[in-house]
Amino acid sequence: RELAQRLGFTSLERTLIATAVSELARNILTYAREGEILLRSLQEGDRCGIQVVARDQGPGILDVNLATMVGYSTSGGLGLGLSLVKRTMDELTIVSTPGQGVVVTATKWKRLQREGSSPGSTSYA
């Protein structure tokens, strides 16, 4: 939340990012028992963002497309974790090697304000 706040994300956006990070951490604990989550700020053209990389060396995901669908769960849960991350973040990449682990990269972008524009007049291309 602190990094997202420093980058100027709204309260709602910070909550969505924190929820996505929490879901990724829960998946690591549930399926791999240990792993890591890295956060970094990004700047690309007229936008800045936050990137979340969650990686583990667990059993991997056999069907990534199925795993990101609402309601799909292999642990008996509601199956909202990865589908929530997919819906709340702007970009999601999942690389899974069965038996060796998963790397999930999720990015949320925020448009930078142009000089001389007011907060309510930021244009989106």
- What tens digit of pLDDT does each residue of 2-23 get? 999 999 999 999 999 999 999 9
Which residue type, as a one-letter code, is found at position 87?
Answer: R
Q: What is the pLDDT of residue 77?
A: 59
15-33 per-residue burial string, b: 16 or more CB within 10 A, e: under 16: ebbeebbebbeebbeebbe
Nearest CA to 56 out of 95, 106, 102 is that of 102
**DSSP H/E element including 25:** helix 11-27
Q: What is the pLDDT of residue 91?
A: 96
CB 40 within 8 A of CB 13: no
- What tens digit of pLDDT does each residue of 82-107 get? 989 999 999 999 999 989 999 999 99
pLDDT level of residue 121 (50, 70, 90 thresholds) = very low
Nearest CA to 83 out of 97, 64, 98 is that of 64
- What tens digit of pLDDT does each residue of 47-81 get? 999 999 999 999 998 888 888 776 556 665 555 67
